[in-house]
Amino acid sequence: MPLPDVRAVEREGTAATSRRQRPARADPGCEHRYAGAGSRAHGSSWDAVVGSQPWGRGPLTENELDDALALIGDYADLKSPWFTGHSRGVASLAVAAARIAGLPESDVKTLQRAAWVHDIGRNGVPNTIWDKPGPLTDFEMEKVRLHAYYTDRVLHNAGKLALLASIASAAHERAGGTGYPRGIAGATIPFLGRFLEAADSYHAMLEDRPHRTALSRDDAAKELRRGAREGEYDGAAVDAVLSAAGHQVRRKPSAPAGLTPREVEVLVLASRGGTTRAVAHALGIAPKTAGNHIERIYAKIGVNSRAEAAMFAMQNGLLPSWETTEN
């Protein structure tokens, strides 16, 4: 049996190695096999990560989810020593304010969760900006504004947490439209977001920052009240936050028929012709929850149609009489 040609074997081995190491050049056409693979992998990576879980481990329980969200907020606060404890403090204040305002516990829980994670986008902004001792440049301020956008995007892509996105990112919006990330105003700011906005602002005023010292409690309260007078904050939310913080607030007449602040909000939106789904979207709640609110409102005020509800709202000063409504 003739011996193999050693040089031929070496050449074949070299060619095979070349094909393994450089398939695109050694095997013309193989690049088509991989066309689009990169984009597919990139597009599915988020779903793959979110969908992965330890073997034998089911979804988090409600209590475990609470613990996880609070810890995520803690992690975001570790971005800079200036923020230590901020998210938990804001959450505690917002929860107390919501209960003073008479919000149902389901809303209180949603607000608490949104407050825990309202600043998770902070990690997308460099510490050189957060820790800067002097005024920020316009460019740096734009970077700061992005952190609320990052918060919104992270939560929107997190399945069950998507409901928290519009509330959490509203912490830096202002009723007058001067906030960020979207510059939304008035009724377009989610109802629960208005409590978070006031709680976050008040709590931040009590904290030192690299460019300023903390305000006193009285000065922070004055600043928040000034903002409410000038239309930057929701007045009811400000009163609830200040009351929760231990300040004296002027007592306002309660809503008619024993309606809670949330029910008044739902009544106004429904009276303006908003469908149940539209009301839910405006308030950042589930359509089923909005429907339950509407049923309770009708029972409290003794009506059976939206036209009757709108009339009740107008007669009780909840809706300007010149507004048009739909049946």
172: domain CATH number is 1.10.3210.10
Which residue is associated with the tokens 């952190």?
147
Query: In this structure, are residues 241 and 234 in contact, taking their beta carbons and an 8 Å threshold?
Result: no
Query: In this structure, are residues 312 and 304 in contact, taking their beta carbons and an 8 Å threshold?
Result: no
Q: Find the largest Cα–Cα distance for the chain.
A: 109
Same domain, 236 and 263: no
Same domain, 81 and 216: yes
Pick from 287, 264, 277: which is nearest to 102 by CA?
Answer: 264
pLDDT of amino acid 149: 96
Same domain, 67 and 207: yes
Task: Show the tokens assigned to 267.
Answer: 């009544």
Same domain, 198 and 292: no
Same domain, 175 and 297: no
Cβ neighbours of residue 310 closer than 8 Å, sequence gap 6 or more: 270, 271, 272, 319, 325
In sequence order, the β-bridge partners of residue 209 are: 212
pLDDT of amino acid 213: 95
Same domain, 75 and 223: yes
288: domain CATH number is 1.10.10.10
Which residue is associated with the tokens 């938990």?
88
Number of domains into which the chain is organized: 2
Distance (Å, rounded) from C-alpha 320 to C-alpha 49? 50
pLDDT per residue rounded down to tens, the chain (327 residues): 454 454 554 455 544 444 444 444 444 444 444 344 444 444 556 566 556 666 556 788 999 999 999 999 999 999 999 999 999 999 999 999 999 988 889 999 999 999 999 999 999 999 999 999 999 999 999 999 999 999 999 999 988 899 999 999 999 999 889 999 999 988 789 989 999 999 999 999 999 999 999 999 999 999 999 999 998 999 889 999 999 999 987 755 567 887 888 888 899 888 888 899 999 988 888 899 999 999 999 988 888 888 888 888 877 777 643 343 333
Same domain, 103 and 186: yes
CA distances from 327 to 110, 184, 304, 306 (A): 31, 28, 11, 6
**Residue 129, burial from CB neighbour count under 10 angstroms (0-12, 13-18, 19+):** middle
What 3-state DSSP class applies to 212? strand
pLDDT of amino acid 225: 95
Same domain, 171 and 304: no
Domain boundary among 224, 244, 264: 244
pLDDT of amino acid 41: 47
Domain boundary among 244, 264, 299: 244
Q: What residue numbers bound the domain in which 67 lies?
A: 62-244
Q: Give the pTM.
A: 0.67
Domain boundary among 198, 224, 244: 244
Pick from 188, 120, 189, 131: which is nearest to 155 by CA?
Answer: 120
pLDDT of amino acid 25: 46
Same domain, 188 and 212: yes
Helices (H), the chain: 6-21, 23-26, 31-34, 37-51, 62-77, 86-100, 105-116, 127-130, 138-156, 162-168, 191-205, 217-229, 235-244, 261-271, 276-283, 287-301, 306-315
Distance (Å, rounded) from C-alpha 289 to C-alpha 287? 5
Same domain, 160 and 236: yes
pLDDT of amino acid 288: 92
